Amino acid sequence: MMPSGVVKNNPNSNVVVMAAIESIFDIIDGEIFIMKEIPTSYNAPEIKPQEGFLYLTNYRILYKSTDRYPSIEQPVYAIGYIDIKRTKLPSQFDLICKDMSVLSFDINNEDLRKNFLIKIQQMTFATKTSELFAFKSKEKFKSNGWKIYDSKKEYKRMNLPNELWKLSDVNLNYEFCETYPNIICIPNDENTSITYDLHAVGEFRSKKRIPVLSWLHQDNKATLCRGSQPLIGVNRSSTNDENYLLCIVENTLHAAKLLLVDARPIANAVANKFVGGGVENARAYDNVKVIFQNIHNIHVMRDSVKKIKDIIFPHIDDDNWFLNIDQSRWLDHIRIIIEGAIKIAVAIHKKGQSVFVHCSDGWDRTAQLTSLSMLMLDPYYRTFEGFQVLIEKEWISFGHKFQDRSGHGDEKPLDGERSPIFMQFIEVVWHISQQFETSFEFNEIFLLEIVNCLYNCRFGTFLCNCEFERKNMKLEENTQSVWSLINDNKMQYLNPLYNHLSEKKVIIPVASPVYIQFWNGLYLKNNPLSWSPESLSIRSSELIELRNIYLKLNNLPIP
């Protein structure tokens, strides 16, 4: 018998086998095979082990069944950690992925198994960003996803700058705030008696992330601003910071007070005072109304989603399914985030009240609340292009720590910086789309693709922690954008039910447990019991084709 993992002696046979594998898995330009034809059994959830072969490339693990079981691919960079202790079988190992999916395999050959795991370990936990597959890929696309977002173009879409708000290049070289974009929108103080020193405001905000405009209501001119907590500590204050917020209030046409949404639980906000942070004092900020949204921190979210993994793998306990989901608190966290975004959208749209959102540093919970409320308020962000712009603006340019939160290059699965904050945002978008099925131009496959690309390191889009780091790494020159792939394959990501003609301008979902459900498409993607006999992508494509035929017929002249 031929040794496992070694290419067969017959070159013609090997060529035929590899050609078949490459056609099945659509090998990417720049992807190289490292190990081939490793005899294995895949321990699929809920069914008997499936015999087959493993292949390892410099980008992913490929599994091909010897029977009729579907093929599987798993990008190595999306693996969170490797568990070899769950069972007492020395040949078995589990690949715990960052999206909480799990793949379990058996490789009986000890030397081959060790070699396989060592190579995965070396790739998965590459210590340099430049070692990730995004820098090795040679893919070419018709679309240039790096051009999807232009900050000045987006501000212009919102009719900015205007007499109340101005664009500032104070951060042009990222010297004012390293984690902010180079162009920001701030209140115009030229037509008011209120004065402030912008640099003094920066010194009083965590990481110098001052309140800046994210979105402007075109009718009532109420604004949505984002920033970080004030560095109040036990007994500090800043007249410049107070005047800055007052200027935001003065630049709002209707409301007398600024609604400040602190995303944190009140206990956490107060506790931050003892480490130099805190929350705006009502006595000093008498023009501000503060509410707390009770969204827990990255550590709580990380622990909660790990409980989901334990619920779905290795077996699902049908009798205690609902109890276990409830005890994970994951769906409760989802509900609270939706509730917070609703409060913001209602305040801006129905009350004409400007809103300022912050958490501690303003790059996790803050991004969730601002982007979700903007999704509710502005139909543009619910379009195929607009959602890409929303992510580029509120998450990428405003410094969500993608590198740290995703754990790219981090070999410590328990590292305190890891957390599924952006994945949680995508999940909330899915929940809202379930309530408004005709209001989103994109479908579930689109959202799942984004989650996949968040972790797989195939593209440069979700690498690094801020715009400053991305420019230093020259990601636009050295890697491809995920939006290039998505825009080149637009048809498969479109929602056939989307109706832009009858769509409501503002959508307000219901934040009730009745409407919050478990996302099978994300968490049970490797569980055969959850698979539909009908392909979702094929069904969507067929419906879109039928819709297009209907629209063409509807536009024909009546004889």
Binding site members for substrate: 297-298, 359-365
User: Could you give the angle at which helices 321-328 and 298-312 cross, rounded to 10 degrees?
Assistant: 160
Query: Which two three-digit tokens encode residue 171?
Result: 């951060």
CA 364, CA 268: separation in Å to the nearest integer? 15
Cα 241 from Cα 247, distance rounded (Å): 10
Residue 359 a catalytic site member? yes
| CA–CA distance, 188 with 166 (Å, rounded to integer) | 6
Beta pairing partners, 53: 39, 64
Tokens of 385: 């292009």
Helix (H) or strand (E) holding 430, with range, is: helix 421-435
Q: What's the rounded Cα separation, in Å, for the pair 243 and 247?
A: 6
Residue type, 159: N
The angle, 0 to 180 degrees and rounded to 10, between the axes of the packed helices 421-435 and 330-351 is 70
Cis peptide before 70 (omega within 30 of 0): no
Helices (H), 107-158: 110-124, 151-157
Hey, how many other C-beta atoms are within 10 angstroms of the C-beta on 499?
12
- Residue 459: burial class (beta carbons within 10 Å; 0-12, 13-18, 19+): buried
C-alpha torsion 461→465→470→472, nearest 10: -160
**What values do phi and psi take at 510, rounded to 5?**
-105, 125
A 10 A CB-CB count for 91 gives 15
Sign of CA dihedral 147, 151, 152, 158: positive
Q: Give 308: exposed, middle or buried? Use CB within 10 Å, 0-12, 13-18, 19+.
A: buried
280 vs 206, 231, 287, 350, CA distance in Å? Answer: 13, 9, 11, 25
Query: What's the rounded Cα separation, in Å, for the pair 541 and 492?
Result: 6
CA 58 to chain centre: 24
Query: From the CB of residue 434, how many other CB atoms can be counted at a distance below 10 Å?
Result: 15
**Residue 557 burial (10 A CB sphere; 0-12, 13-18, 19+):** exposed
Of the candidates 177, 247, 359, 466, the residue annotated as catalytic is: 359
User: Token pair of 325, please?
Assistant: 């989901």
Q: Would you name the residues annotated as active-site residues?
A: 359
